[in-house]
Structure 1
Amino acid sequence: MTTTTAVPNMRIVIIPAKTQEEIKKAEKCLKVAAYCRVSTDEEEQKNSYQAQIEYYTDKINKNPEWQMAGIFADEGITGTQAKKRPEFLKMIRLCRQGKIDVILTKSLSRFARNTVDSLNYIRELRTLGIAVISEKENINTLTAESEMLITIMSCFAQAESESISKNVAWGIRQSFKNGNVPMQYKKLLGYKKGADGNAEIVSDEAEIVKEIYRCYLDGASLNQIADMLNNRGLTTKGSNSPYRKEVIQRILTNEKYTGDALLQKTYITDCITKKSRKNNGELPMYLVKNHHEPIISRTDFNRVQEEMARRSAKRSIAEKLTKTEQGKYSAKYALSELLICGECGSHYRRVTWTAKGFKEIKWRCINRIQYGKKNCHSSPTIDEQALHKAIISAINEFCEVKDEVAKALRESITEVLDPNLNGSIQAAQQRIDELAHNIDELIKLATVPETAATAMADIEKFSEEMKTLREFIETEKAKQIAVQRGSAELDAILKRLEKEDFTMTEYNDVAVRQLIEKVTVESKNVITVAFKGGLEIRKELDIGD
């Protein structure tokens, strides 16, 4: 058995642990980098940017214990998001690769203005044994007491950034109030910045815009319009990329083509994430009317918006929710939304029948297809060829009398426009104001016992009259809007009738959409073609033997 004998005067000496910085100093020269950033492109800030680079280059090179690991600088770039600072991210990658030991920065606000980003990166660098030294705040992130100071300073930096962002947003909104319109000429098809600084129409681009609107109103889909432009070798303005339906939709919904400008359609929700959100009424919007020369009339622009709403409201054919399914919008076949069953009112659908190796195109009532004879007992199946021939015949007959039709349409426009309508609405509003004044006086009398009963009765009577007058005003205004829209549509039809020859030898979906309101299947032998403007022509179907 072995015994251990204690050595006299034995003592234990504690050798204190070295800091990461001391360890690296003992090993070799420290690889030192510097990070600089300015957040604006102003001349004064550019000078500061250059001065920071020169200062840190000189400081690192003068220290014999330091080895230059690089100067990383982001000029004129936001500090709230690291992902938008390429030099900063490059520096972090080198740190992870062990190529940097110390980072010098003027202030923590230069390092990052987002508290989360700042702390995450500093903690990651600390884990890697890399110090971030802030000269202004005199902080070395490898020291134990630095965590609280870093958190406090980063919060101050983020608060400053949020304050600056609010000031910038306030300035932009004041500019909007004054009617200052930012025009994105690089992306805005049809316009360029003129010599006087105002918007100037580019004629060849404007023709493309007009064609896009015209095709959409003629029934083309967004994809069809995009394909048409791409097939002609045209590309989008700015990016020179092929047209997509999203680009066409933006053109069709951009009010700037009417000469107006709607400002603050979107807003930034957070200065850190820079996330943009559509303004649904959270902030005021500003409509600057007649700001520049229009390419599209307001009437055509509004017609396009209504057509978009109408198409999007069409339900999928597959939905079996009602007894008279209306179907979805089809840009390919005009009759998909024009051909109506005379018995149940449902739309007809184009179907392909195959028998003995032969294919036939037919049109059948959607209600009959989906529910059989339960809701639609005797709707006929119509041969497409016979249907097209009858419609061609009706259109040609319409063209023979188009001058008389145009005259009748002009007379109908004159009849529906009531010149006294505004006067009637104004008189009703004046009467409402009088009644409101009388009620105010009656309320005083209602507090006196002797006159209270009579006053309350009169108040009730006047209130009912005011209610009736308000309903009248709302109804008449709605009629006025409907008449104006109808008049605009009739006027567009008139212009087409006067300028174009719609005489047909072959069936054409575009012409059918332009001229026809609906086609009703009366029986297996007869259809009624209702033209826009009111004229109806009955035609027999040539169904053969």
Structure 2
Amino acid sequence: MQVRKIPVTRTMARVQPIIARKNVAAYARVSTDRDEQQTSYETQVSYYENMIRERADWNFVNVYTDEGISGTSTAHREGFKQMIQDALDHKIDLIITKSVSRFARNTVDSLTTIRELKEHNVEVFFEKENIWTFDGKGELLLTIMSSLAQEESRSISENVKWGVRKKYEEGSYRIPYGNLMGYTRAEDGGVKIVEEEAKVVRLIFKMFLEGSTYTDIKNYLESQHIKTKFGRDKWDRNVIKQMLMNEKYKGDLLLQKVYTPDFITKKQVKNKGAIPSYYITNSHQGIISVEDFDKVQKIIKDRKYRFGKERLGCHTPYPFSHRVQCAVCKSWYTRSVTTRSNGKKVPVWLCWKNKYESDQRCPSHQVMETVLEQEFVNAVNELLQDKQSILDEWSEKFDATYNTEKLQTRADRIQARMEKIAEKAEKLIEQTPANFNEAYNELLIEYEQLEKDHAKLAAKIRDLQYEGERMQHYLELLQKLDHVDAFDGDLVRALVDSNLLKFARAFIPGYP
């Protein structure tokens, strides 16, 4: 076989190869809003724009920016997210940024983003570390540098937390007034009372102390066209509840109510004893007296403790709420208002089903509120005639009824057993025997069951102590009474809740 070479018969002019221009963008970020950081931010933007425009083979796209935002997560970095989206839409070929820490101090976020960009043929250049992500060694170096940056961010976060807590310990603090109705910033940097808003705060506390619920207060404020701190017409029940529980209204300040356990997600959680908190008394002028604030907290505690369980001890809006039960269907009687033929509105009490469930009406009848009040007064005076025998009976059985010593002994035994299991688990971890998993799981199962048993006993002890305190209060009240001349709503709450008085038999139709 013979091969013959055919020579070139046509020459071509030598020309420079055409190099496609890359679409180049830059990313700049500073993590605080301070003036010195603002200068750094503006310098970064100007530097990268000039740098890109000076290159003939680069086409300037944009300098994407984020101000006052941490780099530990990409979740809230709008400039960063827009840049990545534009890159995935093939608007960018190369991204330039100052360093790995400017891009992300979270290793997972950093590598995930880089790999996604590489799949779309977009390269990233980290100027400080001289890392090009299309380089064979780029990802290894990036992993190392990202991990170092993440550790640096964790260290900075811990230092900041330490500094904040140190200031709290030394009594140095700033009162957050921005969302606090009734207060604004004072000239000396503290807070001062805004009287118009303070009137609303006092009204809310007053209504609650008089028995109104969160919903009652909400509806009243809206009906009176009273606006929120931010000028809104609609109020939120939870906002009202938080106001009633806010110690700042009595002039105190609780610091470190929330904390951030994870420096990457930066999600705040309630501080339930995981870290120290700091309570400062008389830190500023209060709007509500200490006595009224403490009364409100007790009412809230009573409501939370009882509502939905036995409905006893609940400081309800009306004295007879959850205290008069229908003899026919066992539902609660509820308050309503009826209009007579002369146009006069009269409060009445009727079975819940007759007010709200028209398809399941109850045969019981409504009772006028004045009748209920008078029957209650009559029943109390009848009870007082036998007062001494009631007091004598309870003096004999009080300790036996509310004694918690036996329950506490059982709880202590369980606690001791739990501590022994915990010690065994620690030794097991140190020794790491061949049957470690099986042995550890057995201990864990027993520990969790004991933990449940202990929690149940603790709840029983708490219930008994609570009931004992209330009964003691009711008996002391009964001791002071000799005769009742007029209706008293607080007396209803005390005597009916204690089960010392049952007066419904006298007048509710159908009561056995």
* TM class, shorter-length: 0.5 to 0.7
SS at match of 2:332: strand
The question of whether the paired residues in 2 share the 8 Å contact of 1:338 and 1:518 is answered with no
In structure 1, what residue type is equivalent to 2:254?
L
Q: Percent identity?
A: 36
Distance 1:102 1:138, change over 3 A: same
In the alignment, what sits opposite 2:53? 61
> TM-score, normalized by length of structure 2?
0.65
Map 1:23-38; keep pairs closer than 5 Å: 28-38=20-30
Distance 2:134 2:117 in 1: 9
SS at match of 2:189: coil
Q: Verify: 1:157 aligned to 2:134, yes or no.
A: no
Q: Which residue of 1 aligns with 2:322?
A: 337
**After the TM superposition, which residues 296-445 of structure 1 pair with which residues of structure 2 at under 5 Å, given as runs?**
296-314=288-306, 316=308, 326=311, 331=316, 333-339=318-324, 349-350=332-333, 362=350, 384-386=366-368, 388-391=370-373
After superposition, give the CA deviation of every residue in 1:126-175 in whole Å (9 maximum; x if it has no partner).
Answer: 11111101111111001111111000011111111111111111111111
Alignment CA distance shift 1:44-1:222 (3 Å): same
The aligned residue for residue 215 of structure 1 is 207
How big is the shift at 1:288?
0.5
Structure 1 65/170 Cα, relative in aligned 2: closer, same or farther at 3 Å?
Answer: same
Deviation at 1:268, TM superposition (A): 0.6
Give runs of aligned pairs for residues 467-482 of structure 1, distance below 5 A.
none
CA drift of 1:503 comes to 8.7
Alignment of 1:162-311 (within 5 A): 162-238=154-230, 240=232, 242-311=234-303
CA distance in 2, matches of 1:249, 1:392: 34
Range with bigger deviation, 225-234 or 113-122: 225-234
SS of equivalent residue, structure 1 residue 36: strand
1:326–1:264 distance in 2 versus 1, CA, 3 Å = closer
Report the residue type matching 1:247 in the other structure: V
Check conservation: 2:302, 2:315, Cα contact below 8 A: no
Contact 1:31 1:67 survives alignment (8 Å) = yes
Aligned residues of 2:319 and 2:492 also touching (Cα < 8 A):
no
- Pair 1:87–1:118, CA change in 2 (3 A): same
Distance 1:337 1:314 in 2: 11
Structure 2 letter corresponding to 1:334: P
Question: Which entry has the higher C-alpha Rg, 1 or 2?
Answer: 1
Task: Look up the SS of the partner of 2:75 in the other structure.
Answer: helix
Q: CA deviation at 1:329?
A: 5.3
- CA distance in structure 2 between the aligned counterparts of 1:98 and 1:195, rounded to whole angstroms: 53
Q: How many residues matched?
A: 378
Runs of 4+ displaced beyond 6 Å: 393-396
What is the alpha-carbon root mean square deviation over aligned residues?
Answer: 4.0
**C-alpha separation in 1, matches of 2:509 and 2:116:** 82
Alignment partner of 2:79 out of 84, 87, 98? 87
Question: What is residue 147 of structure 1 aligned with on the other side?
Answer: 139
Which residue of the partner structure matches residue 521 of structure 1? Answer: 502
The answer for the alignment partner of 1:455 in structure 2 is: none
Residue identity opposite 2:300 in structure 1? M
Contact kept? 1:340, 1:521, Cα under 8 Å = no
Uncovered stretches (5+) of structure 2, i.e. residues with no partner: 6-16, 336-347, 353-362, 381-464, 478-484
Contact 1:186 1:237 in 2 (8 A): no
- C-alpha deviations, 1:60-89, integer Å up to 9, x for none? 111111111111121222111212211111
